Amino acid sequence: MLCADDMLNASILIVDDQEANVQLLAQMLGDAGYRHITSTMDPHAVCALHRDNHYDLILLDLQMPGMDGFQVMDGLKEIETDGYLPVLVITAQPGHKLRALAAGAKDFINKPFDLIEVKMRIHNMLEVRLLYRQVEQYSRALESMALHDALTGLPNRRLLMDRLSLAIAHARRNKRPMAVMFLDLDGFKQINDSLGHDAGDTLLSMVAGRLVAAVRQEDTVARLGGDEFVIGLWELSHVDAAATLASKVILAVSAPYRIQGHDVRMTVSVGISIYPGHGEEAEVLMKNADLALYEAKRAGKNNYRIAASTGLL
């Protein structure tokens, strides 16, 4: 919900070629408590100003020499790609009102000004604009939560599978290998049992950071849950590159951690499957990497294994 500060901190641009009108509106807004007021008498400057500042509200005079308000709104439409123009037009021509609304303006102010009406229309429009923005931000947050792990911020399984599908399509098109690494921390349960779940969560977040730092920017590090991570390796220059990256990851994870005043050591086991030899679909590559991980665990942990050439039947 909006509070008074949200409204008063809104950014407002006044556009009018008459200095007296600019001063009157600025004074009225200042007296009402609005803190971020900008003005210009040059209609050609409006789009550049809005591109740099993304105003919550633009008070726009329709009749100005050289470039009228309708032309300014046409320029603003190229900036506001979602189609929402935060424009409240100023006009002395009754016939311009419907045209302005059809052009994208959200409301209008009549000249000469009725200051009580002006303040009410500005307040109402800002309230709608800011609530609309809050809804957008909330929707983006929900979308992010649906695609990312809440603890580490890494992609979750859903986003991982989308990324793997893209990586496979890219590898197929370029006739190059890509790979999937399945990782499991060795003895993670002992950390939870000895230091508590808060320490375990801290360790998982630290491991996540090290994994991201150890691989390339184009690769995807995801957390499936618990102490299981998956890394999707984008196009590889050669098959051996997957083993090189696995060794780098193992070394990064094995460096000591300082958690709640304790020195903590952790190792990781890694299973690797490589496209196309171990599968041509994301699910198959994941399953074969998981089988290879099991072999790495059996071999003594803190190591990697590459899937058998026959793969998963």
What is the residue-wise DSSP string for 202-245? Answer: HHHHHHHHHHHHHS-TTSEEEEEETTEEEEEE---SSTHHHHHH
Place of tokens 């730092």: 213
Residue 227 annotated in active site: yes
Contact between 235 and 171 under an 8 Å Cβ cutoff? The reply is: yes
Contact between 235 and 167 under an 8 Å Cβ cutoff? The reply is: yes
Determine which one of 149, 227, 263, 290 is catalytic.
227
Distance CA(303)–CA(169), nearest Å, equals 29
Closest to 215 (Cα-Cα) out of 252, 178, 182, 186: 252
Report how far apart, in Å, the C-alpha atoms of 285 and of each of 125, 280, 288 are: 53, 7, 5
Task: Write out the catalytic residue numbers.
Answer: 227
